[in-house]
């Protein structure tokens, strides 16, 4: 199974117009909305250079109920129905703070992000999020008990990969994503449900690498691997599981099986499976049901052992 779950936070950087403005410095001059929108459109022509300088004031292009400017601190604060949508990037939140000196933006409350790119899209729902547009690193989490943040990647075949967790950290430049806290990633296709779950999952997209740590479970619908740690290395076409006696169970055309060992490894496709150290298990074939066990009754005795 191969999973691709990039989380794009660039939508955080742009927006469209405001209702109420407070300026904590009389010298601050806001640019006309038309010129600010023109500047945003120009920045969208090269999405790859996401570390470009932001407009001098985001308030000219962000919708919100209230906009407060702190010139000395190089900050802009947006409160109430913070919103932006240009057809490519969408962003919503109850509150957002832009800190130009620190090259970062923070959002709180019902945070929603979406990016459309050719035939794929990326979405994120969280309670709190922060992104540094210079380092391209960010964090998302949930602050409500019993809730999870949600990340959705929809591929070119319109098949969504859905991830839930308590916290997500990411580095867009390096394409490294880490999910923590009751993590589950699931993909449903015509072949069934493929899923991975763990206390922590680290994905290095450029290296085709995934590490599942703590109560790790990997399943393709027919085969399930359970262990403390599961490592998937697509670059070297290998997968391995270890810690607390990994358990591999499922079905094959020949029957059902379960294997417990000290370590289980396989090629990435699961065509060749190796179990090592203190191996235990069972295999049941449908052919067993065709055996007439009455022929084997002679010589079998039941009773109390002496």
- Residues 105 and 85: their CA atoms lie apart, in Å, by 17
Mean pLDDT value across residues 201-210: 92
In 220-262, the DSSP E strands lie at: 223-233, 238-242, 247-252, 255-260
CA distance 209 to 237: 10
Average pLDDT in the 159-163 region?
A: 92
- Nearest one of 227, 228, 288 to 257, comparing CA atoms: 288
**Residue 120: what pLDDT?**
87
For 112-137, write each residue's pLDDT tens digit. Answer: 998 888 888 889 999 999 999 899 89
Average pLDDT, the chain: 77
Regarding beta strands 192-204 and 176-189, do their DSSP bridges make them parallel or antiparallel, or are they unpaired?
antiparallel
Confidence (pLDDT) at 288: 56
Q: What is the mean pLDDT of residues 158-175?
A: 92
Q: In sequence order, which ranges of the chain are alpha helices (DSSP H)?
A: 33-44
More confident of the two residues 271 and 17 = 271
Position 29 scores a pLDDT of 41
Q: Give me the mean pLDDT over the 14-35 stretch.
A: 43
Q: Half-sphere exposure of residue 20, counting CA atoms within 13 Å on the CB side?
A: 9
Residue 157 has pLDDT above 60, yes or no: yes
Residue 287: pLDDT band (50, 70, 90) is low
Burial of 303 (0-12, 13-18, 19+ CB in 10 A): exposed
CA 225 – CA 262 distance, rounded (Å): 13
Pairing of strands 263-267, 255-260: unpaired
More confident residue, 100 or 62: 100
SS3 37: helix
Residue showing tokens 């405001």: 18
pLDDT at 181: 96
Instruction: Give this prediction's pTM.
Output: 0.73
Task: State pLDDT tens for residues 31-43.
Answer: 444 444 444 444 4
pLDDT(7) > 50: no
């Amino acid at each position: 199974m191969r999973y691709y779950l990039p989380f794009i936070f660039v939508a955080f950087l742009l927006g469209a117009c405001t209702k109420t403005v407070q300026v904590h410095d009389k010298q601050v001059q806001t640019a006309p909305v038309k010129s600010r929108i023109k500047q945003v459109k120009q920045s969208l022509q090269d999405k790859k250079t996401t570390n470009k300088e932001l407009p001098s004031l985001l308030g000219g292009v962000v919708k919100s109920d209230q906009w407060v400017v702190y010139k000395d601190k190089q900050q802009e604060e947006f409160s109430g129905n913070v919103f932006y949508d240009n057809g490519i990037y969408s962003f919503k939140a109850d509150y957002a703070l832009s800190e130009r000196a620190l090259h970062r933006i923070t959002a709180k409350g019902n945070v929603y992000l979406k990016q459309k790119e050719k035939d794929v899209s990326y979405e994120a729902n969280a309670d709190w999020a922060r992104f540094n547009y210079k380092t391209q690193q960010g964090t998302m989490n949930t602050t409500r008990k019993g809730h999870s943040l949600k990340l959705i990647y929809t591929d070119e075949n319109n098949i969504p990969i859905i991830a839930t967790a308590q916290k997500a950290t990411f580095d867009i430049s390096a394409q490294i994503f880490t999910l923590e806290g009751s993590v589950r990633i699931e993909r449903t296709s015509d072949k069934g449900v493929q899923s991975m779950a763990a206390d922590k999952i680290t994905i290095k997209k450029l290296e085709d690498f995934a590490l599942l740590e703590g109560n790790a479970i990997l399943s393709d619908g027919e085969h399930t691997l359970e262990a403390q740690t599961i490592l998937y290395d697509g670059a070297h076409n290998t997968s391995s599981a270890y810690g607390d006696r990994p358990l591999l169970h499922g079905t094959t055309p020949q029957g059902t099986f379960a294997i417990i060992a000290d370590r289980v490894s396989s090629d990435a496709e699961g065509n060749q499976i190796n179990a090592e150290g203190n191996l235990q298990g069972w295999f049941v074939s449908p052919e067993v049901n065709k055996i007439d066990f009455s022929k084997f009754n002679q010589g079998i005795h039941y009773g109390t052992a002496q």
